[in-house]
Amino acid sequence: MKTISTENSHGGTQGVYLDRSDACDCDMTFAVFLPPQAKARKLPVLWYLSGLTCTHANVMEKGEYRRLAAELGIIVVCPDTSPRGDAVPDEADNWQFGKGAGFYVDATEPPFVQNYRMYSYVVDELPKLIAAEFPVDMDRQGIFGHSMGGHGAITIALKNPGRFGSCSAFAPISHPSVSGWSKPAFRKYLGSDETAWRAYDACSLIEDGHRFPEFLVDQGTADSFLEEGLRPEELRQACETAGISLRLRMQEGYGHSYFFISTFMEDHLRWHARRLGD
């Protein structure tokens, strides 16, 4: 693991690191915030998954999580959103696919199968590295994210309920198998058999019997992607049918940007802290 940078912040340390990923067959960059309490003991860890076109840097620079994470004693890990590098296949003119748009799936279709294995990277490979290099209490893990990252957080929690004590999302892509901006990516990554897509679709996973105790979701009413891309009402219906507690908060006048995310970041951090406490 290579340290790219470290900065003091709120008594803790915001670091950016690089490591070679076997899952993605390339170098991957990620950010880790260590609150001041990490100098003395292991702390709970909160994974933040970013959205389309983003890297680790978007939430690190605009998410405004460090002050409260330092107060609460929570380590925050921010992975990248896709494999990177000149050798990684991409569609440079398509912001909804390729670099920056890994959708947290393990691709099965060439030429993407070699690199686009973000599910395995986030669920298996990166946690092992974080556990080896940082003072994390792996028995206390939470996960949250934005948009594509909200989709990733909810699907990963549903598939790994014994690992995570909490899950929340900002404007998640709730039903990517039917959403116009995610269906083409699923087809290219996972093939034309849509039954294979269900393993990475929150609504489908719930329909197929996967469960998680509760979710917190914030969604802006002025989000331009609300009806076509995000479809929160379909997640609400799936959770109600399955008996899953979903707190869906429709935030009047808010859009899809980090102005929205940073406004409600403290609510989400406190939600996770209450569920990851001693």
Q: Which residues are tagged catalytic? A: 147, 223, 256
CA atoms within 13 A on the CB side of 92: 4
Cα–Cα distance between 100 and 52 in angstroms, integer? 6
Q: How far is CA 34 from CA 12, 45, 61, 170, in A?
A: 5, 10, 15, 23
